[in-house]
Structure 1
Amino acid sequence: MYKLKTSRAINKRIKFTSSKKIMRRKASRSHLLQKKTSKRKNQLGKVTSVHLSNLLNFKKNLPYL
């Protein structure tokens, strides 16, 4: 059996907690920041966990969790 390839793009964008939860950064924080409120920008800067509906896609691209 051959080795399965890990998606390097996804691997660079996520981190794992000690309980094997997948943490990701939020989108919409890179540009067009003038019209966004300070509260919204602060909330977008935080790290959040991956939703259960997307978890299968992540695990498919990361075979060696």
Structure 2
Amino acid sequence: MPKLKTHSGAKKRFKMTATGKVKRAHANKRHLLNGHGKTPKRKRGLRKATFADQTNVKAVKLLLPYK
């Protein structure tokens, strides 16, 4: 069988943990970060990584065949 290509967009956005979970970053941290944008508490929460939802894990793993 030929090699599978890794999806270049997915490899920039997701990382696999040793236990097989899919790590991702939070959205909404690109602009409107001061003034009338987001509160400091909300911005602190957006810094931390989180795991992808179980409904999306299967699709992400297909995009990252060798991770």
Shared fold by TM > 0.5? yes
Once superposed, what is the RMSD of the aligned Cα atoms?
1.2
* Distance in 1 of aligned mates of 2:14 and 2:47: 14
Q: Which runs of 5+ in 1 are unaligned?
A: none
2:30 corresponds to: 30
Identity of aligned residues (%): 43
* Distance in 1 of aligned mates of 2:15 and 2:2: 26
- Please give the TM-score of this superposition, normalised by the length of structure 1: 0.86
Q: Which runs of 5+ in 2 are unaligned?
A: none
- Please give the TM-score of this superposition, normalised by the length of structure 2: 0.84
* Distance in 2 of aligned mates of 1:18 and 1:61: 17
